[in-house]
């Protein structure tokens, strides 16, 4: 029996933001096909967004601390990721995007992977949501297709 059995489960959310530029482009496709798929987001000089990021952890509230996770550590972990992205051209400055198209879907997956590898308790990571605009929002929960 787990020592956390019977403890209340709480989700905690930390919200941060970063600004970055990118260009949606697949080098394996023709210029015409890139424009067809990505439209104005395929602009040769790129474009930018002010992204809002929400990181959610989910776990038991520990009786000793009264917390799901140390907020100071969570802030540090997320800030390490934001520092990799903030005021950068994703395709040129972030190695991950050298071979991965910098869609917000892939930005969300990148943030998930980076947060998870830096958390002391990675199993608590529940969800990462990235707001590209007020109307375009992407969420990843670590799931893969079968």
Question: What angle (nearest 5°) sits at the alpha carbon of residue 47, between those of residues 49 and 93?
Answer: 85
β-pair partners for 128: 55, 140
Is the CB of residue 47 less than 8 Å from the CB of residue 53?
no
Least Cα distance to 20 among 119, 130, 139 occurs for: 130
Active site residue 41: yes
Q: Which of 41, 54, 89, 127 is catalytic?
A: 41
> 62 labelled as ligand-binding?
no
> 49 labelled as ligand-binding?
yes
Q: Which of 36, 62, 87, 120 is catalytic?
A: 87
Active site residue 132: yes
Q: Which of 54, 105, 127, 132 is catalytic?
A: 132
Return the C-alpha torsion angle 95, 46, 14, 119, nearest 10.
-10
Give catalytic residue positions.
41, 87, 132
Residues making up the annotated binding site for Zn(2+) are: 22, 47, 49
Residues making up the annotated binding site are: 22, 47, 49
């Amino acid at each position: 029996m787990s020592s956390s059995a019977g403890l209340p489960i709480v989700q905690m959310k930390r919200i941060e933001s970063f600004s970055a530029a990118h260009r949606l482009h697949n080098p394996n496709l023709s210029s015409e096909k890139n424009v067809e798929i990505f439209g104005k987001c395929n602009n040769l000089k790129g474009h930018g967004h002010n992204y809002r990021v929400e990181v959610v952890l989910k776990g038991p509230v520990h009786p000793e601390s009264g917390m799901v996770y140390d907020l100071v550590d969570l802030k540090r972990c997320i800030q390490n990721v934001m520092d990799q992205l903030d005021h950068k051209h994703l395709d040129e400055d972030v190695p991950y995007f050298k071979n991965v198209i910098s869609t917000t879907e892939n930005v969300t997956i990148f943030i998930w992977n980076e947060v998870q590898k830096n958390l002391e308790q990675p199993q608590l990571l529940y969800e990462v949501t990235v707001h590209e605009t007020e109307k375009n929002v992407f969420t990843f929960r670590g799931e893969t297709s079968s």
